[in-house]
Amino acid sequence: MKQQTFAVPRSARPRSWSLRILSISIFGILFFTLFPYWLDLSVKPAGNRSPFLLGEGLRFGGPLHTSLNMLLFLPFGFALSRFTAARRWSISNSLLAALIAGGMFSYAIEFTQIYIPSRDSAWDDVFSNTAGAVVGMAVGLMLGDFVFRKLSSWERLIESRSSVRGIFVVAVAYFAVWLAASAPLQRQAKLAGWQDRSYLAINDNSLGDEQWSGKVLHFEIWDRPVSERFENGASESAAELAAQQPGLVAEYDSSTMTANRIWTLESAVPLVARRSPRQSSSGSQQIAGNVWWISDTPLRALAESVQQRNQLGIHIDLIPHRGAGGEGTIIALADRAGRTSFSMKQEGTAVVISLATGLDTGHSGLLLRIPGVFADNTRRSIVYNYDGARATLYVDGRRRGGQYYLSPGAALVHKFIRIKTQELVAYSVLYASLIFIPIGASLAFASRKASPAEWPMNVYLALAILLPPVILESVLVWVSRARPSASQLVLSTVLTAGGMLWMNLDRPALSN
């Protein structure tokens, strides 16, 4: 009897995991080392060092810092072991390859970090990263064959026992869980802690050690983001803008006959002069810069209106008398106990803004700090907007600074550790990755079972990639009242497609 042979079906063949582990390790390394993901090429290393010498020498941040740096590069070396094993390289050559690849990759990251605000670079990070890649290579040479075979067998088992309908049900259920969690997480970014007994103070030093030296010419407070025309430097008056775009809840102008009053929703509230705590109470002479002004009564209606709408717009024209040496609070909304709803300060050339939300009650350090704003006796027009989730700053009609986005990811991380302003973008990317990369990976199994000729299945896959980001963004906009974000939609869609491509990255192989 003639022996028959059967080809192993494509879907039943084992798939190598080497490229998948390598790609996800590179993604993880870049994710954790390059946020906030924007470069400032004007930065120069300290001491006029060459950037090729990196920013610092050896600093040795401690055992934990070194261990985390090694752990970050361990999967990178582990994945490389499959490529050296396939080429039957010797152990010494394989370890040398990990040493070179890990060292070059880490050096490129540390070099890039020189030009990333809030990041630094040092040679000890290169050494610990490289050591992690070498350790990962050694582990891969010893255990890689076993681990990769197990991963492939589990993948074949899942693929053989799943149906297209079952895959879609699992993906929908997974997304539904995250969607249900996203709404309450986003609510934590709402304006909170806005005291109904908050007073508005100008040129205040009760919140800091320094008295601000300068003059506030004019400001408005809105219970929504300021008009785009106003952001871009249009010349309309506040009254004209209020008629076109309602929401003006307070106004002050030093050039009018009522310069000692603030117009608010309640009425014209008098401003009361206060002496600096550092000035002797017996002194009869008022020295410029040693007097600050505070509203005679708390601005209850203003606080209620802003917090109810969950939005804020601030426009202020001012002249700082000191640039790089200036310090102090310019304007603030705070109660008698010092609990601050909003404050704008000068720290050298930088403007620093604090906003009380459910994620930042004034103690978590979520400060928007933009350098290079103030100069000696130079008038500045500053517009600050918070749309319910995102804060933006404009100086003289030009947008300044990076992204300030209180995402569900920030709220999730806030449950475990103290969140930081410079990491807000990373929290958003991390949250979207946790949702959409697994969805894309599950859709990869469905794509394997679908024939290219089955056009309805291709339509379903396309909708599964495009619809979840739109649904999630719609829910977040509904909760926060923020504007829809095209960048978030693109990010989520790319992560879904990326998860799908990642799961299908390695070709089927008859052996692994």
Q: pLDDT under 50 in the chain at which residues?
A: 1-13, 231-235, 277-290, 362, 510-512
Task: Please state at what angle helix 424-449 crosses helix 486-503, rounded to 10 degrees.
Answer: 40
Can you tell me the distance from the alpha carbon of 503 to that of 15, in angstroms, rounded to the nearest whole number? Answer: 10
Alpha helices in 37-163 (DSSP H): 63-86, 91-113, 123-161
Residue 273: count other Cβ atoms within 10 Å of its Cβ: 10
Can you tell me the distance from the alpha carbon of 280 to that of 262, in angstroms, rounded to the nearest whole number? Answer: 28
Burial class (CB in 10 A: 0-12, 13-18, 19+), 317: middle
- Give CA angle at 389 (488, 339), nearest 5°: 155
Tokens of 371: 């350098």
Decide: 210 and 277 in contact? Cβ < 8 Å. Answer: no
Q: What is residue 363's DSSP assignment?
A: S
Class of domain 199-277+287-405: mainly beta
Q: Which residue has the tokens 């050296």?
A: 84
Distance, CA of 205 to chain centre = 31
Please name the helix (run of DSSP H) or strand (run of DSSP E) that holds residue 319, with its range, or none: strand 312-320
Q: Which residue has the tokens 């700082």?
A: 320
Give residue 318's pLDDT. 92
Can you tell me the distance from the alpha carbon of 490 to that of 20, in angstroms, rounded to the nearest whole number? Answer: 23
- Dihedral of CA 279/285/287/291: which sign? positive
Decide: 440 and 492 in contact? Cβ < 8 Å. Answer: no
| Interacting residues of 256 by C-beta distance below 8 A, sequence separation 6+ | none
Beta strands in 376-481 (DSSP E): 380-386, 390-395, 398-405
Give residue 291's pLDDT. 56
Distance, CA of 96 to chain centre = 37
pLDDT (tens digit, 9 = 90+) per residue, 385-427?
999 999 999 999 888 876 789 999 999 999 888 888 888 888 9
First to last CA, the chain: 32
Question: Residues of CATH 2.60.120 domain(s) within the chain?
Answer: 199-277+287-405
Can you tell me the distance from the alpha carbon of 237 to that of 384, in angstroms, rounded to the nearest whole number? Answer: 17
Residue 357: count other Cβ atoms within 10 Å of its Cβ: 25
Give residue 82's pLDDT. 87
pLDDT (tens digit, 9 = 90+) per residue, 256-284?
755 677 777 667 777 776 655 444 333 33
Give residue 10's pLDDT. 42
Give residue 195's pLDDT. 67
Distances (CA, A) of 457 to 443, 452, 504: 11, 9, 17
Closest CA to 499 of 454, 423, 451, 447: 447
Can you tell me the distance from the alpha carbon of 397 to that of 108, in angstroms, rounded to the nearest whole number? Answer: 36
Can you tell me the distance from the alpha carbon of 172 to that of 439, in angstroms, rounded to the nearest whole number? Answer: 8
Decide: 315 and 252 in contact? Cβ < 8 Å. Answer: no
Give residue 240's pLDDT. 56
Decide: 384 and 167 in contact? Cβ < 8 Å. Answer: no
Distances (CA, A) of 433 to 169, 429, 438, 492: 20, 6, 8, 8
| Interacting residues of 312 by C-beta distance below 8 A, sequence separation 6+ | 191, 221, 222, 223, 224, 225, 306, 342, 355, 384, 385, 386
Tokens of 62: 């401690």
Q: Which residue has the tokens 């192989």?
A: 509
Residue 396: count other Cβ atoms within 10 Å of its Cβ: 13
- Dihedral of CA 106/107/112/115: which sign? positive
Q: What is the DSSP string of 288-312?
A: TTSEEEEESS--HHHHHHHHHHT-E
